[in-house]
Each structure stands twice: as structure tokens, then as C-alpha cells.
Amino acid sequence: MLTMDTVKISGKEISQQLRGELKKEIENAICFQKRAPKLAAVLVGAFAPSKIYVAAKEKACKETGIASQLYQLPESTSQDQLHDCLESLNLDPTIDGILLQLPLPGHLDENQAILHIHPDKDVDGLHPISLGRLLSGQPGFRPCTPSGVMHMLHETGVSMKWKHAVVIGRSTIVGKPMALLLAEKGADCTVTLAHSQTQNLPELCQKADILIAALGKPEFVRGSWLKPGSVVIDVGINRLGDGKIVGDVAFDEAFGVASAITPVPGGVGPMTIAMLLKNTVDSAKKRLG
Ligand code: NDP
């Protein structure tokens, strides 16, 4: 069987480059002589993975020159108390971005909480106003994971015009905004959005020039499903029983079939954090003039 030279797309390297550019901008832009950009991270409860994610985001802020403050609320926080916290952050003129770490404890309604983040500080891009701006092609914060994927594709020189992209997964946080970004004017992909009710997924994948897997099922997409030479972006993060982290694509099978593929870990994950930093810096620039 013919195998292809497959490029590993390093999200780690591309994100480091972006973070370096943001750091320089914070050091040099006149507006940031007044103060550094600032991110408020709100963490409710003690869900271990959320604590790790928030710590990673705070570390990334520090390394980039962004101030960050953690608001750690107890598991017993009520919906109203959470809303009060978010609204006080909306009113704080020194805060440029609010990150509400998800998932919230089961008794709290995430959609209701997100409505209490001011759209001008919605650096995760998940407020319905931000999503509406994306849908209607207006400027605004874009959700970090799909915008990180777009940044990766651009930086890797993947040409998107006239290509057929298949996105597997239709969540609000990844799949749906991903499909919209790929179909936007300028990217110009023709997009198919697949989900758990999609029939004949392997055949559909074989027609994808660009395949974005965001379904949350370990190594679900097999190498034999791929169109030779396609570009494969694996958003999935799945922890196996032995602690190993794998993506939604069987990486070893895909390598040699795809022309380029993102690894897990070290692919999309670091891009998500980098885009959160970028959104925070962009927000601060607007606020500080
Ligand atoms: P969700 O569980 O919210 O959505 C999963 C989507 O995949 C749903 O639309 C679901 O369809 C679809 N799906 C599930 N099973 C199948 C199947 N067998 N065939 C086709 N589609 C299927 O997940 P998220 O979007 O939040 O996350 C997806 C993955 O990406 C996870 O592994 C998550 O950990 C990872 N992730 C990674 C990030 C990063 O920074 N790298 C950031 C965010 C998420 P239906 O709607 O019909 O149920």
C-alpha cells in the first residue's frame, strides 16, 4: 500500500509563536503602558480537571504578560450568587475578559450563567450575542477551540478555498462554530456537519479534504475512513483507562494516509488556550484604546 509523507501539525509550536507575538504586543503597545490586559477566571467547585485547566490558563496568562485573577467559588454556590459574581466582574473596569470554567456543578445552569457575562468581556465567545455575531458575520469574540483550529490551518498554509470540510460533532462550543468559521467568506470551504445521527460516516469522511473530529470518542475515526492526502484536525481529548490521552482519530492509522494531522496531546489543546489569550488582549486593546 502506498503511504504518504504526513506532516504533524504542531499546535504546541503554533501556539507558542502566537503567544510570543501577544507578549511582544503587550510589552510594546502604548495602550498597555496604562495597565496589562486582565483575565478573571471563575471556577465553581473542585472538579479536578477544571482546576487543572484553570491553572494552565493562569500560567499561560502569566507567561504572556496578562494579569489574571481566580475567583474560586464553593460547590454550594447558588445560581444567583454566581450571577452576582459575574456581574461584579462586568462592572470592574480593570477586567477585560471573563472565563467561566465549564462544566459547572450539576445544580447550576450554564446557559443562564453565560447570559450574565457581558458580551464585551466574553472572551470564550459562548454568549448568544457572540455566537450571533459569528452567525451574522459581524466582528466579535469567536469560541476559542474552533478559532484556534482556523489559526492552525492558516499558519500551516492549508488552502481551504473550494475544499470540502467535514466536521464531526455539533456542540455549541466546538462543532457548530467550527462549521460556520470554515464556511465564512474568505475560508470558503463547503461544509458538512456530522453528528451521532449521521448515516454512513466512514463514506462521508472519505469525501473530506479537511476532516475535523470533535465527537469525544477515543480513536473512533479509522485510517481507512480518510481520503488520501486529506488534512485531519483532531479536537478530541479522551483519557483511557491506563491514563493515556488520545484523540478522536486513530493517529497511527491516519499517519501515512493524511497529508497533515494534529497530534493529541500537543495539537488543538494548546491553540485553545492561545486564542483565549488573544481574545483577552483584543478586548483590552478596545478598552484601553
Ligand atoms: P459534546 O459531547 O458536547 O459533543 C459531541 C458531539 O459529537 C455531539 O454533537 C454528538 O452528536 C457527536 N457525536 C457523538 N458520538 C458520535 C458518533 N458516534 N458519530 C458522530 N458524531 C457523534 O463534546 P464537545 O464538542 O464539547 O467536545 C468534543 C471533544 O473535543 C471531546 O473529546 C472534548 O474533550 C474535546 N474538546 C477539546 C478541546 C480542546 O481544546 N482541544 C476543547 C473542547 C472540547 P449529537 O449531537 O447527536 O449527540
d(CA 272, CA 146): 8
For the chain, what are the domain ranges? Answer: 34-121, 143-269
| Domain at 34-121: CATH code | 3.40.50.10860
Express each pLDDT in 91-144 by its tens digit.
999 999 999 999 999 999 999 999 999 999 999 999 999 999 999 999 999 999
Q: C-alpha distances in angstroms, 165 versus 76, 117, 204, 212?
A: 43, 32, 10, 7
Confidence band of 87 (pLDDT split at 50, 70, 90): very high
Domains 34-121 and 143-269 belong to one CATH topology:
yes
Q: Which helix (H) or strand (E) holds 52?
A: helix 48-64
Q: Is the overall model pTM greater than 0.95, yes or no?
A: yes
Pick the residue whose CA is nearest to atom 36 on ligand 1: 236
pLDDT of residue 3: 83
d(CA 187, CA 30): 32
Q: What is the mean pLDDT of residues 53-78?
A: 98
Confidence band of 289 (pLDDT split at 50, 70, 90): confident
Does residue 152 surpass a pLDDT of 60?
yes
Architecture of domain 143-269: 3-Layer(aba) Sandwich (3.40)
Whether residue 172 has its Cβ less than 6 Å from ligand 1: no
Does residue 1 surpass a pLDDT of 60?
no
Express each pLDDT in 204-243 by its tens digit.
999 999 999 999 999 999 999 999 999 999 999 999 999 9
Whether residue 247 has its Cβ less than 6 Å from ligand 1: no
- Which residues are known to be catalytic? 57, 101, 124
Whether residue 218 has its Cβ less than 6 Å from ligand 1: no
Does residue 2 surpass a pLDDT of 90?
no
